Amino acid sequence: MFENIGGINMAEDAGKYTYCTNCGTKNAATNKFCLECGQPLIEQDKQTKGSRTGNILDNATKEMNSWTGEDKSVEINFKSIFNQVFKKHTQDETDRIFIAGTKETTPTLNEVADKEVRPWLFSRVFLYLSSLLLILLAVLMIFQNSNAYPGLLFMGALSVPFSLLIFFFEINVFKNISIYQVMKIFFIGGAFSLLMTVFIYSLTGSGNFSLLGSLLIGLVEETGKLVIISYFVHKANVSHIFNGMLIGAAIGAGFAVFENAGYAQNYGIAVLLVRSFGSLGSHTIWSAIIGAALVMVKKNHKLTKAHFTDRHFINFYLLSVLLHALWDLKTPFTDVKLVLLIISGWVAIFVLIHAGLREVKELKKLKLKNMLEEPHEA
C-alpha cells in the first residue's frame, strides 16, 4: 500500500510516478533524484520494500507468539543473537558450556539468564565438522581413494544436524541437561523415531510428492518423532520450554543424520551435500518446534492426553507438519521454496526462544512473590 504524503495519494499513477518523501513533489518513476529538492528517490523504494518485509515478519511473529500466550510481535535481532560467533573464545569458555547439566553445574533459578541468548560454540563445531567433510571429499575426488567414502557419508550426514544440536544445547539457559543426556537422546531417540516412522508407514503406506502425498509424509514423520519426543519429555519430566526444544532438536537431529546417510548411500554425494544444506531448516528445526510446544503447554504437570489436544500445541505441531509437507512437495523454483521454508522454521524457533525467556522471567517473579508472601517469624 502507498501512503499519503502532504495530502497526495501516492497510489495514483503508481507505475508512472513516484513522490519525494522529503517534499512530496511528484516525479517520474524513472527519476533517481527529486526535481525539487534533490532527495534520492531510490531510498523511498527501498524504504517501502523494507517496511513491507518488516510488516510481513511482524505479522508472522505476532501470530505465532499468540500461540504462546502473548499478543504482540517478536523482534528478531540476528546481530545481537549471533554477536559472539565472530569473537575469540577461550578453551575454558568451551569447557564451561560442555560441563553444564550436572548436579554441581546446574544453576539456581536466580542464576538462570533471562536476557537474549548468544550462542557461539555451534559455529566452531560446524567449522570443524565441515573441514573434516572437505578433507574426506578431497581424498575421494582428488586422490580417488574409495576408502574415504563411508567417512564422507557419515560426516556429510552429521555436520549440519549435529551443529544445530549444539546450538540448542547452548541456548538451554537452565543448563539442566548434560551433554551425555543429549547424546543419548540424539542416538537412541533418532533411531527410535526412524523406527516409529517406518512402523506408521507400514500402516498408512508411503506418500508421493503430490499435495496429498506430501501432507501424508509430513503427518507421518512428525507424528513418529512426536511419539519419541513425548517419551523423553515424560521420562525426564522436564517443565521448561528450552528443555523441550533441546529434546526435540536432539531427536530431530538424530533422525536427520540417519535419513541423510541413507539417501547418500542410495543417491550419491551430490544428494548428500544438498540434503546437508537443507538440514539447516528441516528435521532438527521441526522437531525442536514440536518439543518446545509440547513442554510449553505441559509446564510442570504430568504429561497427559489433554496436552496433545491443547490448541497452542496443535498450532505448532501443524506448522511443523505443513513445513515438512511443503518441503517435500514438488513445485517450481525449488531452491527459493527451500530458503523460504528454512526462514519460516527459524522464525518459529525465535518466537519460541522469546517465549522461553519470558517463562524464565515469569518463574523468577513467581518465586519472588512467594518469598514475599511467606510469613516471617517475629
Tens of pLDDT, residue by residue over 144-164, are 999 999 999 999 999 999 999
Question: Can you tell me the distance from the alpha carbon of 67 to that of 64, in angstroms, rounded to the nearest whole number?
Answer: 5
pLDDT at 49 over 60: no
User: What pLDDT, on the 0 to 100 scale, is given for residue 72?
Assistant: 94
User: What pLDDT, on the 0 to 100 scale, is given for residue 5?
Assistant: 41
- Mean of per-residue pLDDT scores for the chain: 90
* Residue-wise pLDDT tens digits, 91-145: 999 999 999 999 999 999 999 999 889 999 999 999 999 999 999 999 999 999 9
Mean pLDDT within 206-218: 89
pLDDT at 14 over 60: no
Question: Can you tell me the distance from the alpha carbon of 349 to that of 76, in angstroms, rounded to the nearest whole number?
Answer: 11
> What residues have CB less than 8 Å from 120, skipping those under 6 apart?
82, 84, 85, 87, 89, 170
User: What pLDDT, on the 0 to 100 scale, is given for residue 15?
Assistant: 56
User: What pLDDT, on the 0 to 100 scale, is given for residue 187?
Assistant: 98
292 is written with which cell numbers? 518446545
Matching residue, cell 500500500: 1
User: What pLDDT, on the 0 to 100 scale, is given for residue 11?
Assistant: 42
The predicted model scores a pTM of 0.85
Q: Where are the alpha helices (DSSP H) in the chain?
A: 42-66, 78-81, 91-98, 121-141, 149-170, 179-184, 190-204, 211-236, 241-267, 269-278, 283-298, 305-308, 311-328, 334-373
Mean pLDDT within 273-282: 93
User: What pLDDT, on the 0 to 100 scale, is given for residue 215?
Assistant: 95
109 is written with which cell numbers? 533459578
pLDDT at 6 over 60: no
CB-based contact 239:228 (threshold 8 Å) = no
Question: Can you tell me the distance from the alpha carbon of 261 to that of 158, in angstroms, rounded to the nearest whole number?
Answer: 8
